[in-house]
Amino acid sequence: MESTPSLLLDPQGAVQARVLVLRLPSDDLGDRYLVKMRSSSPDRALEWLRDLSDGYVLQDEDIFLKSEGPAVIEDMSQPSDGRTPMTCMGLRGPRADDVIKPVFGVDVPAWGKAIESEGCIILNRPQGTVPGFELYIPTDQSTRIWSKLVEAGAQPAGYESTSEVFAEKEPSPQDGDERVDLSKAFFIGEKKLLETAPAAKEVAEFKFEPPKDQELKRTCLFGEHERLCKPKHLVPFAGWQMPVMYSGILDEHATVRNNAGLFDVSHMGLLEFTGPYAERFLDLVTTNYVPLLAPGQAHYSYLLAHDGRCIDDIIVYRMERDRFMVVVNASNADEDIAWLESVMGGKVLVDPSNPRVLLGGNVTMRNLKDQDICGENARVDLAIQGPKTRAIMTKLAQDRSFILAIERLRKFELASGKLDGLDVTIARTGYTGEDQGFEIFVHPEKAVQIWNDLLEAGQPYGLKPCGLGARDSLRTEAGFPLHGHELAGPHSITPIESGYGKYVKLHKPFFAGRNAMLQGHKNRDRTVIRFEVNGKGGKVLRAGNPVLAGRKNEYAGVVTSAASTGTRQVGMALVERKFAKPGALIHVLPLSKGDKTPPALNPLDLQKGDWMTIPRTATILSRFMTPGEVPLDS
């Protein structure tokens, strides 16, 4: 158990209490802390903490802001939850060490550390504070412990002497005070302190230059792709040579919607974060709320740069209390790693409003695809998607408990076990919009075996291997974003504009890029829509096609993705919010930069042999595909 001195401030930076925070062992409910407060108004300070936890008070002018509650806050002198009341005693003086062992039968803990003995907590105060001990004792034992301390040589001290005996430096919450750390990502009162703090040193902004002229990489399943698809269908993608299709994009699309499809997604980046600070670190560098994840749960989230630029969209999996796995896009993996390593090392700016902010801590990041580093713990990712995937998975699971786990998995949950004798972790996640679908994390050397085992077990269910083409058409139909298209890219689309505001927790006191994201949310006038082209046939739409809308058919935005599913043509577009009404019509000009332009821009100038681009009418759909959704003309 470790402790640290600190201050409890109000939004104006005024000191409400001097505190000594002791971290207790975690229990089934999570983290626990014991906080000793010295305040002229302790009841007011306690009420302030409870109101903060419940979200009842403003922390500053940012009305979105809310402390990371709720938390159970008990006055341990009179707890209301049935726990034993506690009394605090202070032991000071040069012979304090000599008293501890005969009374409690334990060696003196190191500075700032605490140990437990006979139901009592003995804390050796941290360096930089008045030397001595804090003794947290069950109230019903306080008389007995007091007597033993006196017998061991401790001298009772009355209340009037405490101002001298307990003398501490007067609170001065300025830069340089050991109780005030302006490199902390956030604390209440920080903004006021920054107004008078000395100027911070300049910190470099993050810049990333992708490697050039690299040879295409190949996944551990490349040999299977060579065997299953034509050479011309192995194409460059995000620095990898990947199959765009096997039996055909439309056939594979239909297979996933009706049966099951197997995808090689082992090109995706796979990172592991471990250590007591792993949760805190990931919560500070991602937009979603990591502490809410229990082991066996996952969520969708984002990595943002200091200026709010979307570096990547990710999925965070909590494997154990202090161990996380993060899946990142293959095209962004190198930049993600460079950003995270730079942040861990305190080398780059993470908060323009306070360049002092440091987010590093006791956390280790590993590339799980690197067998030299991770050995038998190395992992790669496969995906199996479609309504018949659960039956295929349970067919390969040999242990009854694992079969039950697969059958009971809810979305964004994971479980570990054996598939056909191989150690795997499976998660009910995917990128196709299917309700049933799993991702399988397996050792790279076992990927070929599990791939072939799945294809064999899934043959009676219509399982087929699927390539990048179907993956793109499926995610476009579902309304899922692709980084560079509906996220970031040439139009600098934010996660909120993309329709994923619920994964950007603006109430969090801090995450990298929060200030920029908050301003973007307040001022946004664009949004991503999903649409379906009316009627059959016609020229296929593409990213970059202009979108017209409204009574005057004015310019409204631009197509970001489009695909044919075999039964309809669907797409997404970035448009002005005033035009984003489900059911409304838009008109898309099937013309992009680089295309041949019509000879006459004005219809009245048309002459014999001239031609014009005819807009294609489309209907705005719900932002995301709904269960059982069918084409408009069905």
Which CATH number fits the domain that encloses residue 33?
A: 3.30.1360.120
490 in any annotated domain: no
Give the model's pLDDT for residue 176: 57
Name the 3-class secondary structure at 454.
helix
What angle, rounded to 10 degrees, do the helices at 96-104 and 142-151 form? 120
Q: Cis check for the bond before 109: say yes or no (omega within 30 of 0).
A: no
In this structure, is the dihedral angle defined by the CA atoms of residues 461, 467, 471 and 472, taken in order, positive or negative?
Answer: negative
514 in any annotated domain: no
Does 407 lie in the same domain as 536? no
Cα angle: 142, vertex 147, 153; to 5 degrees: 130
Residue type, 384: I
From CA 129, how far away is CA 137, in angstroms rounded?
21
Give the model's pLDDT for residue 168: 56
Cα angle: 20, vertex 25, 28; to 5 degrees: 125
Give the model's pLDDT for residue 397: 95
Nearest to 262 by CA among 231, 235, 224, 319: 224
Q: Are 530 and 622 in contact (CB under 8 A)?
A: yes
From CA 619, how far away is CA 584, in angstroms rounded?
6
From CA 628, how far away is CA 634, in angstroms rounded?
12
Does 36 lie in the same domain as 123? yes
From CA 24, how far away is CA 21, in angstroms rounded?
10
How far does the chain reach from its first CA to its final CA, in angstroms?
Answer: 65
Does 390 lie in the same domain as 251? yes
Does 79 lie in the same domain as 181? yes
560 in any annotated domain: yes
Does 397 lie in the same domain as 438? yes
Does 433 lie in the same domain as 355? no
> What's the pTM?
0.92
Does 311 lie in the same domain as 226? no
Give the model's pLDDT for residue 165: 54
Q: Which residues pair with 313 in a beta bridge?
A: 302
User: At which residue do the structure tokens 């991770």 appear?
Assistant: 374
Does 437 lie in the same domain as 349? no
Please tell me what DSSP assigns to residue 157: -
Residue 449 sits in which domain range? 222-266+378-474
Q: What Å distances lie between residue 526 and 207, 442, 530, 570, CA to CA?
A: 27, 40, 13, 20
From CA 204, how far away is CA 209, in angstroms rounded?
15
Q: How many domains does the chain have?
A: 4
Give the model's pLDDT for residue 541: 94
Q: Are 466 and 384 in contact (CB under 8 A)?
A: no
Please tell me what DSSP assigns to residue 125: P
Residues of the chain with pLDDT under 70: 159-177, 600-601
We report the CATH number of the domain holding residue 538 as: 2.40.30.110
Does 257 lie in the same domain as 131? no
567 in any annotated domain: yes
565 in any annotated domain: yes
Instruction: Write down the number of H helices and E strands in the chain.
Output: 15, 26
* pLDDT tens-digit series, residues 190-229: 988 888 888 889 999 999 998 888 899 999 999 999 999 9
17 in any annotated domain: yes
In sequence order, the 6+-apart residues with CB closer than 8 A to the CB of 500 are 300, 302, 481
Does 317 lie in the same domain as 235? no
Pairing type for strands 260-264 and 463-466 reads parallel
From CA 634, how far away is CA 626, in angstroms rounded?
15
Does 242 lie in the same domain as 176? no
